[in-house]
Amino acid sequence: MNNEMGNLETLRIQLGFKKMNLLGESWGSMLALLYVTTYPERVNKMLSTAAIGVTSKGLERFSKELEKRQTEDDKIKHSKLEENLKIGESSINDLLHILEHYYVISRNFKA
């Protein structure tokens, strides 16, 4: 665990929060994303603004965390859609349709 994520986890524990709402701005958005992919059960909601790019190491870690949570059926669909995307037979929206529920923390959100 990196220092910043460790600090955030220590703060959550010291404040006695079972779950937190996170707001990430710029680099903080990446910290929030890393935290929520590592501890999804400890986050109620997350809002990210002005998100910046991730390092190759961070992207690799993010992909591994996603893969751990995906169902076997979704892994197969994901793989097929990625291949079809390369040849123009599917769209990024098709892929996002499978992935979106792995990224949405609050499933009870009402606009």
Q: Taking the chain (111 residues) in consecutive chunks of 10 residues, what is each chunk's mean pLDDT?
A: 75 92 82 85 85 68 80 91 88 79 55 41
pLDDT attached to residue 35:
86
Q: Where are the domains of the chain?
A: 1-68, 70-111
Q: What integer pLDDT is reported at residue 80 of this predicted model? A: 93
How far apart (Å, rounded) are the C-alpha atoms in residues 37 and 62? 7
Structure tokens at 31: 């910290």
DSSP letter for 92, please.
H
